[in-house]
Structure 1
């Protein structure tokens, strides 16, 4: 006599397991093994947290930066400024040192949209060529101050003790020196009008700020569990500092250095304005602003264009630094 067919849930007669089997995965994690042998990992699923390959802080930061209009605009402006600093002939074919006194203080003319200065030099050509000195000072000074401050501050934060105390007291001394007054004293005895004395002075007074940021980041990073685990496994100081601590402590340094770059460009222009920074025949926005300040009523165009270029450059670097800070700081996400 045939057996009656089962009633109710048709899945009751399915010989496969009613629930997915749970099997341990790598590293103690639990994965699901389905009855039809389909793989759970079918690639990242949009909108599902934790699906797909995990991203690092840097990949998350780059993902946010690409979608930040402030970063995009400031980066495009900076790329353009760097290009004309390297190749000013791309948009200005004239010679910034070629002047005609007969055209002194004249306004805009065909082929000379910014007019002429007190010496009869083309303001447009000098404004374009002035980007080279200002940006070179900003980049070189930032690189030097960041490198020196990161090394000294990182070592002080990692080893501590008397080295940390000594570096802190030295940094306090440099923090007590007013920048403009220090520039007047230090650069007044320098006869060279090139960018290197100005770069050296900015590095001399700029590294303490970077060192304090680097020290605090290293002190915070070395207290994390992964650093303690590496130390327990026998990792040396060099390996812990370069492989485990430095990559996780460099983000605040990058943010401060990016913002400081714009500040250093403004500082160079200030020192050149008071006559102790860059000196002729070097073409600089600060020099042109200083020469135009005495004729601001008679020929305001002489001051407008180099001052505007300086303001746009400083603002672009500060906006870039703010965007990078927002992307690298997890608390602001």
Structure 2
């Protein structure tokens, strides 16, 4: 057995309390800090009405994306009749009809699916890239940190929407849901990386990290078990807010004609199609705009509430 294997084995035994009969101090401190942070945060969140408003709205829109037929009252968004073109909202058809005579409530409801998928998929890619690059640069430092930080600066120099437009117009990724999500993630991961990097740099000098290192824990174990769990809070806040930002960005790209294309159903496509009929049929722009705004606000309110709960300085 190598020296490193013996050290890792000793570390596992100490964590389990099998060598001394006591749990590892560093592990106890880490778990205690995490438990205290999240329990205090949850206690604060429960008293924050903005969090509950955002959570309820977010849940409604999530259910809308999963089971749209329930919210669309059984209407088919692609069942159109030109004789109903641009009819105003009524008791039977709450959102009226679009220019093609399609039930507009069904179209707006079914548009939630693509918007939420793009927002969640893009933020997942951002989270993976941010955690990976930020953890490596913050933990190891040196030349690797300098190179990756300069690479981040290069991406920062490109405006978010402009970069996504260039990527999507190139046709390299296509114009589907995954393509739009990746294009947004390519130019949106840098802030998450900076947050992770700064937190890792701050945490890696802590006493419990030094204790874990003294017990022979490998760099990978220290990074995954002791540093990242204590560095994830600001990233979680950022990603929650970013979901709303990405949903709005998708609608913007689609409105500009470089995002999703028909026959896809999207709030951006609906707003784009309705803008020329704003005077005669304002409901074609009003309803998707309201739902889009509420969706973005839901995630931003949850993110703001989570930020206040995780930051003791923000608590009353």
SS in 1 for 2:278: coil
Equivalent of residue 184 in structure 1, options 141, 144, 165: 165
Q: Is residue 2:56 matched to residue 1:76? A: yes
Deviation at 1:55, TM superposition (A): 5.1
Cα offsets for 1:6-30 (capped at 9, x unmatched)? xxxxxxxxxxxxxxxxxxxx99xxx
Higher helix share: 2
Deviation at 1:193, TM superposition (A): 3.6
Q: Select the structure of larger CA radius of gyration.
A: 1
Deviation at 1:189, TM superposition (A): 2.9
Equivalent of residue 95 in structure 2, options 106, 114, 126: 114
Contact 2:122 2:182 in 1 (8 A): yes
Deviation at 1:110, TM superposition (A): 3.5
For 2:51 and 2:124, the matched residues in 1 are separated by 21
SS in 1 for 2:187: helix
Could you say which residue in structure 1 is the equivalent of 2:251?
269
For 1:291 and 1:132, the matched residues in 2 are separated by 19
Contact 1:210 1:256 in 2 (8 A): yes
Give aligned pairs, total.
Answer: 282
- Matches for 1:191-206 after TM superposition, within 5 Å: 192-206=174-188
For 1:162 and 1:120, the matched residues in 2 are separated by 61
For 1:329 and 1:159, the matched residues in 2 are separated by 27
Deviation at 1:242, TM superposition (A): 1.0
Q: Is residue 2:300 matched to residue 1:318? A: yes
Contact 2:164 2:187 in 1 (8 A): no
Q: Is residue 2:310 matched to residue 1:328? A: yes
For 1:185 and 1:146, the matched residues in 2 are separated by 23
Superposed CA RMSD in Å reads 1.7
For 2:207 and 2:305, the matched residues in 1 are separated by 30
Contact 1:62 1:327 in 2 (8 A): yes
Q: Runs (4+) of structure 1 moved beyond 4 Å?
A: none
Stretch moving more, 180-189 or 293-302: 180-189
Deviation at 1:207, TM superposition (A): 1.2
Contact 1:193 1:282 in 2 (8 A): no
Q: Is residue 2:110 matched to residue 1:126? A: no
Stretch moving more, 71-80 or 227-236: 227-236
In the alignment, structure 2 segments of 5+ residues that lack a partner are 1-21, 24-33
- Matches for 1:141-290 after TM superposition, within 5 Å: 141-190=122-171, 192-290=174-272
Cα offsets for 1:63-105 (capped at 9, x unmatched)? 2112211111110110111011011011211111222222211
Cα offsets for 1:36-81 (capped at 9, x unmatched)? xxxxxxxxxxxxxxxxxx9521111112112211111110110111
Contact 2:118 2:250 in 1 (8 A): yes
- Matches for 1:77-96 after TM superposition, within 5 Å: 77-92=57-72, 93-96=74-77
SS in 2 for 1:283: coil
Contact 1:193 1:280 in 2 (8 A): no
TM-score when scaled to structure 2?
Answer: 0.86
In the alignment, structure 1 segments of 5+ residues that lack a partner are 1-25, 28-53
Deviation at 1:290, TM superposition (A): 0.4
Cα offsets for 1:199-221 (capped at 9, x unmatched)? 11011111111101110110111
Contact 1:74 1:316 in 2 (8 A): yes
